[in-house]
Structure 1
Amino acid sequence: MIETIRTKIMLLIVKKKEEADKWKGMLCPKIKKKLDVNIKDSLRCVPSHAGEEKYQVECGPGSQHVVDLVENCCSYRN
């Protein structure tokens, strides 16, 4: 039974490697798609310096967030 499991895992690894060899670029297609969506959404955000290492980011009307580069935190997603 263990031999059967080992064989199936080996075949799965080979199959995934063959799929990965078809990728163009450094990112897999799912991650590339998510990144493209985030880039598109970020185009409407406007950052402005708020003093020291803090920035205020406006993403549409009524949506403002503070980003602290020293603390590595954001008021949107603490």
Structure 2
Amino acid sequence: MLEGIRTNLMVRMANRRVAAWKWKRHVGPRIEQIMEKNKLEAGYCIPTLSGDMKYQVTNMHRGQFAVDLATKTCSCKRWDLCGLLCPHAINCILRRKHDPYSYVDEWYKREPYLK
């Protein structure tokens, strides 16, 4: 039974490695789906520059948040906890005309996934 489980895991990991080379971006399709959902929610945020890379973001539904792009933190703690951008951070990054995918934690990108 253990040998069967080991074989199934080995095949599954090999299939995922092959699929990773077909990703459209440098992050996986599930992460891309989460990012696109957060981009839509970012439309409800209004960022105000409060420093070099710091913003105060007013969300129409949930109050105010502090975003620091230099340290990759947001006061909602979503970005800090999982490494994926929250809508507040995405809005600030788009305001600076940068690519939000470059701010995603390295663990979600193709190269570490293949390792």
TM over 0.5, shorter chain? yes
Compute the displacement of 1:33 (Å).
Answer: 0.8
Compute the displacement of 1:48 (Å).
Answer: 2.0
1:25 aligned partner, one-letter code: R
Aligned to 2:28: 28
Aligned to 1:65: 64
RMSD over equivalenced CA pairs, Å: 3.1
Provide the rounded CA distance (Å) in 2 between the counterparts of 1:22 and 1:54. 35
2:15 aligned partner, one-letter code: K
The 3 A distance-change label for structure 1 pair 42 and 6 is same
Aligned to 1:12: 12
Provide the rounded CA distance (Å) in 1 between the counterparts of 2:59 and 2:13. 42
* SS of 1:43 mapped into structure 2: helix
CA contact (8 A) 2:23 2:29 kept: yes
2:14 aligned partner, one-letter code: V
Which runs of 5 or more structure 1 residues have no equivalent in the other structure? none
Compute the displacement of 1:14 (Å).
Answer: 1.4
Aligned to 2:46: 46
The number of equivalent residue pairs is: 75
| Structure holding more helix per residue | 2
The 3 A distance-change label for structure 1 pair 25 and 50 is closer
Q: Deviations over 1:4-50 (max 9, x none)?
A: 33322221111212222222221111110110111121122112246
Aligned to 1:37: 37
Which runs of 5 or more structure 2 residues have no equivalent in the other structure? 78-115
* SS of 2:25 mapped into structure 1: coil
